[in-house]
Amino acid sequence: MFVRNCWYVIAWDHEIPLDQANGQIFTRTVLGEPIVVYRAGTELVALADRCCHRGAPLSKGRLEGSNLRCGYHGLLFNPQGQCIEVPGMDTAPAKACVKRYPVVAKNKWIFVWMGEPEKADLAMLPDNYSCDSPDWKNLPGYMHYDTNYLLICDNLLDFSHLSYVHEKTLGGSTAIAQSRADVSDITAPSQRGLRVKRYVAELPSPPSYQRVHNFTGTIERWWDYDFVLPGTLLMKSGGRPSKNNAVDRGEVELHSCQTLTPETENSTHYFFQQGHKTGQGDAELAGAMYQMLLRAFQEDKDMIGAQSATLAMSLDFKMLPLHLDGALTRFRHLIEIEAGQEALAAAARVQTSVIAAPQRSTATA
């Protein structure tokens, strides 16, 4: 189940080369649709990675200036997806074209719009400001999951798992699981999703914080994030000495941007970064934090992969809702509503086109 009228991250900007003379054309599958992305001068272009002639991947072809030539039979497509040359023909057929996707770059993320092109709205882009800000230091990350994206959404919407899955990395205390999250709806007209807040008054500092500040006593921690459609987390988090800690000074302040892009029903692209304030820690801190994040997210991946395999073997299994499932249950409901409305609108368009289509005469001479 996918929501289509959304911006999905297809790549980090460094994955789309500025100099494409090496012949490699970037391609990635989103919602089951293979897409090529390239740069035509200063503009980004996103086209279906499937030639309209025999279905060969256009990523197996080559770029010729701003145009893309199929490597199978040589059809040449312009950045609008229209075929402008067929070898051996004077004029390319008007029907010879490939799908073109709205595409835009924002703060080092490359987004494609997977729904109706006329509804593409830049105001719906998430505010991933720390991905490209001098105030924050981070390294870009990517992982590939062989699981449905909703299981990963569940994981990001319930941080009680930090106490157990990430006991030795991001968590460090069962007090996180004992705390309750405050969940509310996001009311901004351009964004659809949830706001999740969690606070713990006193717990040990996790290993991931020690490179920023070497806390010796207990700290208080907070997680405050928006989780917006189609599956993007924008989070402020951090820690400072607790009220009972009169020894330590300093504060850890982090901003994280993570987003999930379904590749297929059973596979997912995961783009992420976690930034710390510029000036905190040493010159190697960004790399150390990135490696810690990779370890932690591999812990997630191992658990979610095992969960997915178990669910696949038990088709009649029904998950047991608990109090800690409030956010993920509400987000799944939001997905169902949005996807259902899109399906109804698509069915209405089909019905309208059928009614408007000219009827063939059945009269005989």
Q: Show pLDDT as tens, one digit a residue, over the chain (365 residues).
A: 899 999 999 999 999 988 765 668 999 999 999 999 999 989 999 999 999 999 999 999 999 999 999 999 999 999 999 999 999 999 999 999 999 999 999 999 999 999 999 999 999 999 999 999 999 999 999 999 999 999 999 999 999 999 999 988 887 788 898 999 999 999 888 899 999 999 999 999 988 888 788 899 999 999 999 999 999 999 999 999 999 998 988 899 999 999 999 999 999 999 999 999 998 877 788 999 999 999 999 999 999 999 999 999 988 899 998 998 999 999 999 999 999 998 888 787 776 665 666 665 554 43
- Give the dihedral of Cα atoms 339, 343, 348, 354; nearest 10 deg: 150
CATH of 129-339, one of 3.40.50.20, 3.40.5.90, 3.90.380.10, 3.40.50.2300: 3.90.380.10
CA–CA dist 27, 123 (Å, integer): 26
What is the pTM assigned to this prediction? 0.92
Instruction: List the one residue out of 241, 169, 235 whose CA is nearest residue 203.
Output: 241
Report pLDDT for 359: 61
Residue 7's identity, in one-letter code, is: W
Query: Class of 7-119 per CATH?
Result: mainly beta
Cα 10–Cα 16–Cα 18 angle in degrees, nearest 5:
155
- Looking at residue 281, its pLDDT comes to 76
The predicted-structure confidence for 310-365, as pLDDT tens digits, reads as follows 999 988 899 998 998 999 999 999 999 999 998 888 787 776 665 666 665 554 43
**Domain spans of the chain?**
7-119, 129-339
Average pLDDT along the chain: 92
Q: Which residues have a Cβ under 8 Å from the Cβ of 71 and sit 6 or more positions away?
A: 56, 58, 60, 61, 62
Contact 104, 122 (CB under 8 A): yes
Residue 214, pLDDT score: 85
Q: What backbone torsions phi and psi does residue 280 show, to the nearest 5 degrees?
A: -85, 140
Predicted pLDDT of residue 208? 80
